[in-house]
Amino acid sequence: MNGLLHKCCVGMGISVAAWFLPIGALAYEVIDVSHGGTIEGVVTLNGDPPQPKGFNLITFPDPVYCGRISNGRGWRLLYDFVIDSHGGLRDAIVLLEGVESGKPFDLSVPLIEARDCKFEPFMTIVRNGHAVEVINMDPVMHDIQGYETSPEAGNRVLFNTPLVMNHQHRRGDLHAMHNHAPGKSLVGPVYLNKGRRTFYMQCGFHAYMESWAMAVNNPYYALTDGEGKFVIDGIPPGTYQLVVWHPQTGPGTTKFITVRPDGKLIERLSLPAPKGNRSAYKVMDNPRFGLESLGHSVDIQPVVETQQ
């Protein structure tokens, strides 16, 4: 454990040693894969795309700086569904369960940045027993709250860690550039309970900042691109369970597939769009929640991105 924590601490920023415990699976073995197969395809959203969640900036700290990405009327939007014109769903995870040996993992430590009051990337894939690193690139303080989650057991708090203000540019500078080193390192271990696969982070100060992660037991996974496309290659021939998951569509979908030597499978997969009111956060033009309700002048300008 100490060796991994030391590696996580190298460099700047907050490093979170996210120890994902095995889920009853055998240890993965790296082997030379002969005549491996490929799965490629697209994941779409079945149903009407949900509206983004809306957050009134004056109810959260740092409305001017965090308003550099906003709709121009004092609201920050969280686009947790990104869908192209053909229904392709971005940031869905496609993975194979049951692969006990095969190609090596990518051993790089995933990096999550707090940048412009947004966690990037929105979705991260982490190997069981390895770490994620979180850094602050903003001139404001963030508070990182981590939760492990499962459909059956709900959420459980993993950690609550301040992500201190980056002092390498002026606080609240709307035109601050991010070409600098992040702030001082802090380290905290995270343990997922047996049977849990996912955790998410949210800023305790800025609720529109979310990031999700899934733990995997083998390297046969992919994250869909902006068109919902994915490719998984070098798969040892065999029969496996194909899993498709997005954090806002429920438990996901599964199916059994058989990979033939040197074979290629083309899969068109879909996830159901949420129905009904999924959040209390909605954009509304109500004077009670307008900028004038503060009793003093606040100039919120979307200088980085005007959200639609």
10 Å CB burial of residue 262 (0-12, 13-18, 19+) is: exposed
3-state secondary structure of 292: helix
Q: Specify which residues 229 forms β-bridges with.
A: 42
Taking alpha carbons only, the member of 285, 292, 278 closest to residue 78 is 278
- Spell out the domains of the chain, with CATH numbers in brackets: 2-273 (2.60.40.420)
Q: Tokens 């029969």 belong to which residue?
A: 239
List the structure tokens of 201. 């982070």
Average pLDDT of the segment spanning 263-282: 85
Average pLDDT of the segment spanning 123-145: 85
The angle subtended at Cα 78 by Cα 270 and Cα 230, nearest 5°, is: 30
Q: Tokens 């049977």 belong to which residue?
A: 195
Average pLDDT of the segment spanning 254-273: 96
Taking alpha carbons only, the member of 26, 109, 76, 139 closest to residue 302 is 76
Peptide bond into 189 cis (omega under 30): no
Q: Would you state the pLDDT for residue 11?
A: 34
Q: Would you state the pLDDT for residue 23?
A: 44
Residue 249 is given by DSSP the state: S
- Give the whole-angstrom CA distance, residue 105 versus residue 57: 41
**Mean pLDDT over all residues of the chain?**
81
Of 17 and 256, the structure prediction assigns the larger pLDDT to 256
Which range has highest mean pLDDT (21-30, 149-158, 197-206)? 197-206
Q: Would you state the pLDDT for residue 127?
A: 83
Q: How far are the Cα atoms of 38, 215, 229, 270, 273 from residue 220, in angstroms, in the given order?
A: 10, 12, 15, 19, 25
List the structure tokens of 305. 């991105």
| Percent of the chain topping pLDDT 70 | 76
Q: What is the pLDDT of residues 206-232, one digit of tens each?
A: 999 999 988 898 999 999 999 999 999
- Give the whole-angstrom CA distance, residue 235 versus residue 38: 6
Average pLDDT of the segment spanning 114-124: 92
Taking alpha carbons only, the member of 257, 275, 255 closest to residue 265 is 257
Q: What is the pLDDT of residues 68-95, one digit of tens each?
A: 999 988 899 999 999 999 999 999 999 9
| Percent of the chain topping pLDDT 90 | 45
